[in-house]
Each structure stands twice: as C-alpha cells, then as structure tokens.
Amino acid sequence: MRPVSAVRRLFRRVTLTAVLGLVAAGLSTALPAAPAAAAGGLQQVTGFGSNPGNLAMFAYTPANLPAGAPLVVALHGCTQSAGDYFAHSGWQKYADLWGFALVLPQTNSSNNSSSCFSWFDATKDTRGKGEAASVLQMVTTAQAQYGSDTHRVFVTGLSAGGGMTADLLADYPDVFAGGAVDSGLPAQCATTLTAASGCQQNNQNLTPAQWGDKVRASNPGYTGPWPRVAIWQGTADYVVYPVNATELRDQWTNVWGIGQSASSTQSLAGGTTLSVYNDSAGKAAVQLYSVSGMGHGTAVSPGSGTENCGSTGAYYLNYICSSYWTAKFWGLDGPSSPGGGTGTLPAPAAPAVTGTTDTTASLTWSAVSGAASYSVYRGTTKVGSTTATSYTDTGLATATSYTWTVTAVDSAGVAGAASAAVTGTTTGYQAQCFTASNYAQVTAGRAHQSAGVAYANGSGQNMGLWNTFVTHTLKQTAPGYYVVADSGCTA
C-alpha cells in the first residue's frame, strides 16, 4: 500500500519512546522550550494548580482585553514548544484582531522524549488525570485571571497536540465549546503506546457509532451540548494518515446525532475542500478541511490580509490560514454565533430560501423594527448587505447545498442576533474531472475502499489497490456518482 521500509524504521525509533514524532519532515532534535517571557508577549504562568501532568502554562492576552472575552487553548506538536507554536501558527494575529486570550500548554522531554502530548496514555489523557487535568487547571486559572467567558472556551492542537485536543473535547465537553484537530487523531483511538502507531497509519474499521461511543464513555452521563469540531488534514500526510480525518468526522457527527454526508461543500484557497455537517438547526456542527497535497503540519498562509496568517517552518505549511477559518467557525470574529453581533436588535424572523438557479439563491426574511440594513452570511462568511428584506446570493456552485443566516444592523452599524439558519440547494449539474491517486480519491470522498481495493462512488468501478501509487481519473457525472475516465475526461 505504501513505501514502508525507510519511513517505518525511522518512525518506530521515535514511537517506541515518543509516538507521533513528526518524522516525515526530518526534524531530529527538539526545538528549545519557550522562555518565561518570550518575544511577542507570551508569558509563563506559574502556580496554576497541582499540575498532575507536569506541564508548563504560557499565555498571551491582547492589550485592553475586556472581561467576558473568549479563551483559546493551543497545543503544540511533538518536538515543538509553546513559543514555537505561538510564533508560527497565526493565533496571535486573531487574538489581537478579535479580542480573545490564548493559553499554550507545553510538555517536556521528561514527560516524553520527543515532547509529545500523551494522547495515547489513559493515565494522562482522560478526565481528571495527568495532562488533561493540568490543561483544565490552566483553563480555570485563565478564566479567573482574565474574566474569560466560560461558555466560549476552545481548544486546538497539531499532531500529538491534535490527538490530545480530541481527547480533551471528549473528556470535558462541559468546558470546551469547540475544538480543532490539525493532522491529529480521533478521541481515545489508542489507550496504550503499543496501539498508537496503528492509529496513526491504519483504518481502525470502526463504525461511526463505535467512534462516538469512545467520546460518550469519556464522560459518562453527559448528554450535551457537544463541542463544535473542525478537522484539518493534508491528503499527503504520511505521519498521521488521512483516514484519521474520516474517523474524526465519523466520531463527532455521530456524537452530534447527524449523518456522515456533508450538508455542503466549498472550495477554499490552497487546494482546500471544506465539507460542512450541520446540526438539526442547520448550524455547522462539524467541519472537515481537506488540503490537497499537504503533508504533516499546520496550514498557514503568510501575508497581510485578514485571511492570511502565520509563518512557514517545520510543520507549518504554506497552503491556507487554518487559524483564520477555525476562528471564524467558532464565531471568534463576533461575540456569539457566526453572524451574530453585540447590538440589541432581535434576529430576523422567518428566513426562507424562495428560489434557486444553478448559480444563485434568493432569500427573504421579516423586517426588524429599527434596522437600517441587513447582513447576509453564507455559512460563516458575510456575502452581502441590503436595506431590503430580500437578497440574491450569486456565484454559487451548481447542485450544491448552502446555509444562510441574516442579522439586522442598526443605524450605528452594529449587528444584532443572527437568524435561524436556512438551507437551499442550487439546481443543475456540471460534470467535473479529478485525477489523483486512489488514496487521494478515497480521502476526497470520490471513492471508497474495501479490503484494500478502491471503488468509484456511485458506479462501484474497481480502481485497483487503495494506495498512492495507482492513479485514475474520475468523472463526476451526477452528485455522488463517479466513473473511471482514464481515456479522456471532458468536464
């Protein structure tokens, strides 16, 4: 299925003592730990609790941070440090721009020889134990010190930090409103060191319900609300294989009680495909970002634009600013859900999709007394403003499902609460062609695999071995229906 000799030899040397050692990029030595007061304002916080996981706490707060601001916990990957993650990931930019506090836990070589968070150790990554308990103590300390909004605490992490992020979401769904797993693993995929590498590289062949049970068993008796989860995965990641993103999606959609078919899809920068899975109210509960051709790391996009962030380095890869999209998904660009504002105007009532074409959708809603205008959001992105109680969204993809919300804006330009979400699907269909390895076709959802063989979705045509060495062109002739078109494909 894949070239294993060189990679596995190097990988096993790390995983025997570290697990998730980020071997693919050849980083052989650990980066220096963040200093007590690093450049850029990162500060170490001591005395945050009994600290059973033997972690260090670092924090960053923008100037004039108000009480009631959100809190984001960010976990570094193996061989990295809190300072390294702070410097490269781009989270500082949005903490400054949108006003929230950052907490960056840091592990060390005495915990793990490659400074990995112990996502695979049941004595360290479960509720009330070890590193998980230390992170919770950091959250409690930050909430008290910064007056953070206890309902808007989020956690994100890369690689081993991503695996620990998933565990924390399962352990403490009563604490974290949302999470983002970057190149990471499902919650409680492994509970021992021996099982860890198998999780990283292999399909565990569990049903969505079995994955969901791992979350439910992490905090027995808890029934919700559940965290909203973003999943980031490169299609060329051979440290944490892309199947982990599928398993994460299965796990968290099952926890939410929703299906595994995307409510909508969207093409973003950097070859990124965003698949959105809505809850019963039409709001995004799970988002899967698949970055074509990206290896193991955090997606960044250096630049000065609002959607640009971070800097490149080992495991910081120039594709798209994952921190921006994650923060938008969590609603950190506003004080409530995406589209919501600080104003007193109520949410527009009776939003509806009144008609669609192949590239447009027409929306209406009831007037709000005192509204000077209305803002329309497609997903988490503002797409237009109007003084009327109707709007036509244009430039849409054919035969694609979208979700919209609307806010009323007062004369001072302050938006009120967001409306209920409404969903509509554009008409028509335009054939598309996709040339990629069988592995990438399966990862992108155009094919599926059984017993190591890839099959085109819809037609069921045999494509050969499910690996990166067999390449086919698939033609999508209808939504969800693909045929092999190696002899020529015209969209």
The domain limits of the chain are 5-330, 352-425, 432-484
SS3 317: strand
pLDDT at 380: 63
**Residue-level pLDDT at 413:** 78
Nearest Cα to 283, choosing from 245, 363, 226? Answer: 226
Q: Which residue has the tokens 């068993």?
A: 217
Query: Mean pLDDT for each 10-residue chunk of the chain (491 residues)?
Result: 34 36 30 35 94 97 88 96 96 94 96 93 94 97 93 96 97 96 96 87 93 96 92 96 97 96 94 94 93 96 94 96 96 61 78 91 94 85 89 85 85 82 80 89 92 92 93 86 86 63
Helix axes of 322-330 and 91-98: crossing angle, nearest 10 degrees: 40
CB-side neighbour CA atoms (13 Å) of 390: 6
Residues linked to residue 288 through DSSP beta bridges, in sequence order? 231, 275
DSSP state of 301: B
Q: What φ, ψ does residue 163 adopt, rounded to 5°?
A: -60, -40
pLDDT of residue 341: 55
pLDDT of 382: 80
For position 479, what pLDDT does the model report? 74
Q: Which residue in this structure is represented by tokens 């008409």?
A: 427
Task: Please report, to the nearest 10 degrees, the dihedral formed by the alpha carbons of residues 79, 82, 83, 85 taken in order.
Answer: 70
Which helix (H) or strand (E) segment is 432 a member of? Answer: strand 432-437
d(CA 231, CA 249): 7
Q: What is the 3-state secondary structure (H, E, C) of 42-101?
A: CEEECCCCCCCCCCEEEEECCCCCCCCCCEEEEECCCCCCHHHHHHHCCHHHHHHHHCCE
Does residue 225 have a cis peptide bond before it, meaning omega lies within 30 degrees of 0?
A: yes
The answer as to CATH 2.60.40.10 being correct for domain 352-425 is yes
Give the pLDDT score at 31. Answer: 32
Residues 102-121: b if buried by 16+ CB within 10 A, e if exposed: bbbbbbeeebbbbbbbbbbb
Gap between the Cα atoms of 184 and 168, Å rounded: 13
How far apart are the C-alpha atoms of 304 and 71, rounded to whole Å?
24
Kindly give the pairing relationship between strand 373-378 and strand 381-386.
antiparallel
Question: From the CB of residue 232, how many other CB atoms can be counted at a distance below 10 Å?
Answer: 29
| CA-based end-to-end distance of the chain | 30
Domain 5-330, CATH 3.40.50.1820 — does that match?
Answer: yes
How far apart (Å, rounded) are the C-alpha atoms in residues 124 and 134?
9
Note the pLDDT of residue 377: 86
In order, the DSSP letters of 169-218 are HHH-TTT-SEEEEES---TTS-SSHHHHHHHHHS-----HHHHHHHHHTT
Q: Across-strand partners of 298?
A: 316
- 3-state SS assignment for residue 3: coil
The per-residue pLDDT for 390 is 96
Catalytic residue positions? Answer: 159
Token couple for 471: 């390449």
